Structure 1
């Protein structure tokens, strides 16, 4: 790392990668030198360009790390700042830098407006990600307005065209992995809903079209509000990815002396394609979990069995059966509180319904825990029904525009969590539930986006300037999660938003598990989980065995298929087990026992994704940290092609990352590592046998 004024260069090193940046001699910006495997910066930069730029500026073609509209006036800036008189084109000059091999902070300043920007970099030890964020300070005497407030630009060499991988979806069809080839021009995904949303995941992967299984770069956003990721490939073969907030409420005010830290964006690198990139993300998210990274309990959730018709009798009937088959945590979902007989009432009034629990809520919880079960509860504390005591007392607490009607979604309104009194109510409500009752698991839901961009008749939105509603809501949400985890460390928190509408790296650092979709149909869920595992580690994947057919693919699948599918992450059950026959309960108990034997490998193991749900090969491999145990979960999704009637051979699942000279045993069968890698693990499907759990142990 060298720093001798303009022309300085710094290298941040990860476990197997490096990220090198430099300030050119002119000192107007920081630019990328190289990003890839260790040693990649020793040689001519793969992204540098110093040639002519007709009808453009030098910055429009340069690999700038963080660009104002003065640096990149035509090809896309990260930051656009406006003065009080409407002038733009803030232009930075290098000031100084400090850091070491894992951290870097580079300061730039604009001499005209006084705006200072500190570009922060961090490579967490043992990972191959670079986390970036920007701290802006108005050191001038006049107010500034941020018209665009992106967090970072990442530059990727794509000489033969860019292949972008992204995840699209909708409610009940989240995390659908797809790809687009970008020869020229741009591609954008994002959300304006105040949450990451169902439509797209704040995650993008970039590869060169000529090397789809080779070097792959990823970008993911640490932001739980509205966001945007844009990839643009220029005529010179450079793909630049811009990521950050989408300012749905208009520009942000930065008064004199004001300071604003923009959301972090994390970049990742792997030499091994999308599959390798997934492992980079997994390793990082496991580090985010820290000491909370432990195998999750097998849970039962009552939603699909009873819906809103919750009462002590039916919940205890479910809990008794759940305990018999080996479940460890029993979660009562929506419908437990006063006024909650359907989705038109009750939200905001978080008091257990005495009519549903006539012996008392705590007595009910004790009965559940007497079965050997931990107890969990569903909440949706950011929302309120018009038919509630809370709304009658505080109608001004919801997002509203003065003189305009409110927009109900799912018969509910959204509380303005950015207001201190609302944040205090939400925190104190959940905190009080956890202190008063013996609760060890919390499912925090969020079932509607924000529609009204205002505080209605509330004071404080006039002379004080614009209110950053999105930023305030997200900041308080994160703060409440952090407070609850600090004060109730034994409580596991599941993040849900009508399914998978609130999954991002910021939540991965604050929640213990994600609910990726309300769709629990087996084949639909297989596609959802396949996409999810490309961006998220298995300890974040909550999955249930249910009786539900799929919405998009209703083909029936065996109980074995549904259990093996749910074992790919955190095993749960959501079926109405009161109606399961004795042989089904016996089979379920066997699968749960087998899961408990392997869940440590699922939680901590190295993951390889084999094939995909549209391919005859569809499996996930988990290899234990000591490489002595290999768990393979496999599913049959397609045709049988005359199996048992015509000549056929088993499907072969090629395994990866195992010792080719090793010997692995499954029951009485022995395999060499070379055989498993080159030929593959055989699985033979029949009409009755549509899923397989194989545990290989090194002999």
Structure 2
């Protein structure tokens, strides 16, 4: 076979596929340039560790699938057995297929077999034009008896210079909380056993050089793209190896491969950057925006009625709310929970996907027509994967839920999980959703919710999370195939189903049920590590948050929501005329900035004052930018100091001014900084020295617009 050197963007991937065993990664990281053919064996040899005392007599080689037969004593890449046999493998390389044309992605497909274990392994490696590595394993049972698969993980090595780890955790209304620490010896394992991605899911597991930040340091990261139980891990061995990896978390007996059957792992997304965390985001955002299914139309300003009316549905009140929405510039109006049979509270009705004739005697069409008459799109809330025990569906089909024989799982929000692996249940849900969309003229959008964990999620007596996850994907795919123009939001008690596999079939995620602007700053900052702004729903809530009871000015709430898929979650009918006029100004500002916000490069500032958070978006051609500077608390120092504006062209001159058309933030200043109300300076000055900030009051945001002067 051969040694393969793949190069895309700023990344090189070197695979030693000379056999006889599985290929090993000799380098994943910074671009190495155009290496000569003779350099590759030397590069590989230079990375082989010595043999030391009390170790194997030959160097341990870490392959794309770590195996004990090669001397690996860390986390196994494959765990499984066939009635207690075939529990250890020694795959041998059979076929290596390399497709490395100048345009598009470079791809390597590895086929390997272990005749003794009667298994065939296929490894698919892709290096896409942004430098992103996508890795997947496929395992086939070639034996005559079932093979129980316990784990199949994709793993990549990381060099020893990576000494710190960063990942995310969280809970309902506090998703995406960062945690950072030195990378110790042993395994740092993040398991999600929620049956969904989870509020506590780490969107990225990052390893980096000491002190890495948003704009500096060398970093490596992985994302496990799966919406069910999953694992993401970092392992550092006393033998010198460091790895990042991930895969699906399987319950005992969940995947039994019959003769000839195969299993494919979730995609592992792996990304490297020499420019800190922003470099990771830049590659990921560019990759996502290049997908064929990425939203291409302007992301409509959305009003969701949940925090305006909750379950109190009244046609006249909702028409009035739609009138106000149109006045402030809303482009999509979403009717949330409470429209279907028996759904007057959250304890009943789920599963009965028929319009409640008592609440809506004329059906939904009058409201849909009224909304569309204002030129707005109409959207509808659904939760198709769930059922209330107090529902006609459950009473008729109590066996249509995920459970172990003889008992039901504990309820969560008074609901159970509908078993989509059951063909009849699946057909019912698909049929009802299809009928709702066909029977109503103008439903353009579904807010697809998923409000509980999957606990004791059994199907036909066996663990059912894997099959349920696959069935949910199939349901979404089939519904969209029947209704090609339909857009779908992934909501799951807020941000509990945010991953790159659900986003293959949805158009945005709801980052959190918390609309408190202070909490949202952090939630959106860290969600944005993986996702570009246009995929993250971000709404202006009421002045008093219903999840934290904090009170914020409209300017702070709107400036926070501005940097996402902008919307409103507020009874604006009860707002004053002054507030509605200001909200309209913020909507107009978002629409003006939307082409920049939803296509530019996200930048974040490593500011020395922890009370100052700054971030922005810079146009791809470096002609303009917008930055937000938020004071999240009081500072130790009297003034926060200068703010460097990252991402600009050092050789061009830029005009900087506060955003026009909206009220400015409240400040403590007796006099303004000397550059206000605006200044023109070279990008080198703005990026290296910056501008002195005004002394903002806590929980205030200053918006800066930047335009090239040439």
TM-score past 0.5 threshold: yes
- Residues in 2 aligned to 1:404 and 1:73: alpha-carbon distance in whole angstroms: 42
Q: Is 1:34 the counterpart of 2:37 in the alignment?
A: no
Q: 1:680 to 1:237 in 2, by over 3 A?
A: farther
Number of the residue aligned with 1:157? 159
Q: 1:408 to 1:613 in 2, by over 3 A?
A: farther
Deviation at 1:422, TM superposition (A): 2.3
Asked whether the equivalents of residues 294 and 603 of structure 1 are also in contact (C-alpha less than 8 Å), the reply is: no
Q: 2:379 aligns with which of 353, 376, 381?
A: 376
- Residues in 2 aligned to 1:21 and 1:205: alpha-carbon distance in whole angstroms: 22
Number of the residue aligned with 2:209? 208
Number of the residue aligned with 2:103? none
Asked whether the equivalents of residues 137 and 152 of structure 2 are also in contact (C-alpha less than 8 Å), the reply is: no
Deviation at 1:681, TM superposition (A): 4.0
Asked whether the equivalents of residues 348 and 391 of structure 2 are also in contact (C-alpha less than 8 Å), the reply is: yes
Q: 1:239 to 1:571 in 2, by over 3 A?
A: same
**Once structures 1 and 2 are overlaid, which stretch shifts more, 597-606 or 58-67?**
58-67
Q: 2:431 aligns with which of 428, 431, 441?
A: 428
Number of the residue aligned with 1:670? 680
Deviation at 1:289, TM superposition (A): 5.5
Deviation digits for residues 388-422 of structure 1 (CA, Å, limit 9, x no counterpart): 11111111110121122432111000011222322
Q: Is 1:96 the counterpart of 2:85 in the alignment?
A: no
Deviation digits for residues 71-122 of structure 1 (CA, Å, limit 9, x no counterpart): 3552121102312244511211111110212011011100212200011011
TM-score, length-normalised on structure 1? 0.91
Number of the residue aligned with 2:318? 315
Deviation at 1:178, TM superposition (A): 1.9
Q: What 5-or-longer segments of structure 1 have no aligned partner? A: 462-466, 643-647
Q: Is 1:660 the counterpart of 2:650 in the alignment?
A: yes
Aligned runs of 1:248-647 on 2, under 5 Å? 248-250=251-253, 252-288=255-291, 290=293, 292-437=295-440, 438-455=442-459, 458=460, 469-547=464-542, 549=544, 555-611=550-606, 615-639=610-634
Q: 1:147 to 1:335 in 2, by over 3 A?
A: same
- Residues in 2 aligned to 1:515 and 1:268: alpha-carbon distance in whole angstroms: 24
Q: 1:369 to 1:181 in 2, by over 3 A?
A: same
**Once structures 1 and 2 are overlaid, which stretch shifts more, 403-412 or 687-696?**
687-696
What is the RMSD computed on CA atoms of the aligned residues? Answer: 2.4
Asked whether the equivalents of residues 47 and 155 of structure 1 are also in contact (C-alpha less than 8 Å), the reply is: no
Q: 1:689 to 1:405 in 2, by over 3 A?
A: closer
- Residues in 2 aligned to 1:409 and 1:497: alpha-carbon distance in whole angstroms: 13
- Residues in 2 aligned to 1:560 and 1:164: alpha-carbon distance in whole angstroms: 35
Q: What 5-or-longer segments of structure 2 have no aligned partner? A: 101-105, 658-677
Deviation at 1:545, TM superposition (A): 0.6
Aligned pair count reads 675
Number of the residue aligned with 1:18? 12
Deviation at 1:505, TM superposition (A): 1.1
Give 4+ residue runs of structure 1 displaced > 4 Å after superposition. 40-43, 53-61, 548-555, 648-651
Number of the residue aligned with 1:64? 63
Q: 1:178 to 1:582 in 2, by over 3 A?
A: same
Asked whether the equivalents of residues 81 and 90 of structure 1 are also in contact (C-alpha less than 8 Å), the reply is: no
Number of the residue aligned with 1:230? 233
Deviation at 1:555, TM superposition (A): 4.9
Asked whether the equivalents of residues 311 and 336 of structure 1 are also in contact (C-alpha less than 8 Å), the reply is: no
**Once structures 1 and 2 are overlaid, which stretch shifts more, 351-360 or 302-311?**
351-360
TM-score, length-normalised on structure 2? 0.90
Asked whether the equivalents of residues 146 and 258 of structure 2 are also in contact (C-alpha less than 8 Å), the reply is: yes
- Residues in 1 aligned to 2:483 and 2:93: alpha-carbon distance in whole angstroms: 45
Deviation at 1:270, TM superposition (A): 1.0
Q: 1:61 to 1:177 in 2, by over 3 A?
A: farther
